[in-house]
Amino acid sequence: MAECDSGYRCRICGVPVDEIIESELYLRYVLCDVQIDQLADTPEAHVWCNGNLAQFIVDPAFDHPIKVDPEHDKSAMDDATRRLVESVVTRAWKRLQWLPESGLDVTRYPLEDVVPPDDPEESLKVSTRLGDSTRLDDAERRS
C-alpha cells in the first residue's frame, strides 16, 4: 500500500484501513483473487471485518474477533478442502505481514504458487503440494 493509498475507509466498519497488513484487499491480491489493475477501484476492508475470509487464517498472531456468515462457515466444508484453504490463506496472510519490510515491488506481492483465474468469476486456483493446479471447488468434489 503506497503512502497515498493508506487510510481508505473499510467498506464494512467505516474505520480507515491504515496499513497494508490490515488490508483485506491486499490479502486478496496476494491470493490472486484481485488483479493489480483492480487495486485502485476495489473497495477496501480490514482483514478481520471479512470474517468469511479471515476464518481461514490459522495463526496465533491473528487474534481478531471475526463474524462469519453461517452459510459460509468453514465447519461445513470437508476436512481436506478446509485444510487446503486454511493453508493457502494463512500463507498469504503471513506474506502480507512481511511485505512492508520486504522491499518487494507490488507486482511481486502475490503468492507464486497461486494461479490467477483466466476469468475473474472463476474460482480461485491453487497449486497443491503435489504440483497440480486445481480449483478449490474441484478439490472439494474429489474429497
What pLDDT sits at residue 117?
A: 59
CA distances from 91 to 7, 75, 88, 128 (A): 25, 20, 5, 13
pTM to 2 decimal places: 0.78
For residue 23, the tally of other CB atoms under 10 A from its CB is 25
Find out whether 80 and 139 touch, Cβ atoms under 8 Å. Answer: yes
Domain boundaries, the chain: 3-111
Residues 103-109, mean pLDDT to the nearest whole number: 95
Task: Give the cell for residue 128.
Answer: 497443491
Residues 121-142, mean pLDDT to the nearest whole number: 35
What pLDDT sits at residue 81?
A: 95
Which tens digit of pLDDT belongs to each residue from 19-58? 999 999 999 999 999 999 999 999 999 999 999 999 999 9
3 has a pLDDT exceeding 50: no
d(C-alpha 33, C-alpha 42), whole Å: 12
d(C-alpha 101, C-alpha 39), whole Å: 20
Which tens digit of pLDDT belongs to each residue from 46-100? 999 999 999 999 999 999 999 999 999 999 999 999 999 999 999 999 999 999 9
CA distances from 71 to 83, 135, 137 (A): 18, 20, 16
Show the beta-strand stretches assigned E in the chain. 8-9, 16-17, 114-115, 125-127, 133-135
